[in-house]
């Protein structure tokens, strides 16, 4: 069952290279790429290389690997103000049923954006 879900999952397809993405970084357990519909410049997604729909279903080693990757991205983007967002379930606005962490930089006020 899990393998059927992984076969059809768009984020698993991105990890396998079957759907193109703008890759930012990759580790043994995580894959990071830019969001296709960015909420701000640099909006990135960090996903575990393990198909799980929700965070509490994810093995700890994949969970533990994701945050350092998010940290690297925040540092690389020079984002001093940013949100880390992670939605679980339809009622919590999860659209893609594969765990993902958003890294959403907040533009600088002097750029005229809020
Ligand atoms: P959610 O609402 O599930 O937390 O967020 C899913 C995110 O995945 C959205 O921000 C959406 O723009 C992004 N997304 C959905 N499909 C694709 C895709 O095929 N490629 C990329 N790069 N991002 C995607
Ligand atoms: Zn998946």
Residue minimizing CA distance to atom 20 of ligand 1: 36
Q: What is the pLDDT of residues 82-91, one digit of tens each?
A: 999 999 999 9
pLDDT of residue 111: 63
Distance 43 CA to ligand 1 centre (A): 10
Is 100 an annotated catalytic residue?
A: yes
pLDDT of residue 112: 52
Atom of ligand 1 nearest to the CA of 102: 4
Share of the chain above pLDDT 90, in %: 88
| ipTM tops the 0.90 cut | yes
The CA distance from 111 to 114, in Å, is: 9
Share of the chain above pLDDT 70, in %: 93
Question: What is the CATH architecture assignment of 2-111?
Answer: 2-Layer Sandwich (3.30)
- Tell me the three-class secondary structure of the chain, residue by residue: CHHHHHHHCHHHHHHHCCCCCCEEEECCCEEEEECCCCCCCCCEEEEECCCCCCHHHCCHHHHHHHHHHHHHHHHHHCCCCEEEECCCCHHHCCCCCCCCEEEEECCCHHHCCC
> How sure is the predictor about 3, in pLDDT bands with cuts at 50, 70 and 90?
confident
pLDDT of residue 1: 46
pTM given for the model: 0.94
pLDDT of residue 107: 87
Q: What is the pLDDT of residues 61-81, one digit of tens each?
A: 999 999 999 999 999 999 999
* Token representation of residue 113: 């954006």
Atom of ligand 1 nearest to the CA of 37: 12
Please say whether the beta carbons of 101 and 94 come within 8 A: no
């Amino acid at each position: 069952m899990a393998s059927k879900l992984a076969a059809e999952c768009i984020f698993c397809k991105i990890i396998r290279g079957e759907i193109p993405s703008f890759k930012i970084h990759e580790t043994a357990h995580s894959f990071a790429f830019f969001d296709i519909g960015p909420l701000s410049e640099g909006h990135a997604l960090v996903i575990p290389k393990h198909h799980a729909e929700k965070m509490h279903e994810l093995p700890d080693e994949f969970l533990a690997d994701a945050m350092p990757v998010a940290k690297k991205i925040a540092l690389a983007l020079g984002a001093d103000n940013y949100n880390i967002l992670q939605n679980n379930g339809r009622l919590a606005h999860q659209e893609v049923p594969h765990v993902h962490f958003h890294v959403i930089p907040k533009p600088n006020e002097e750029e005229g954006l809020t």
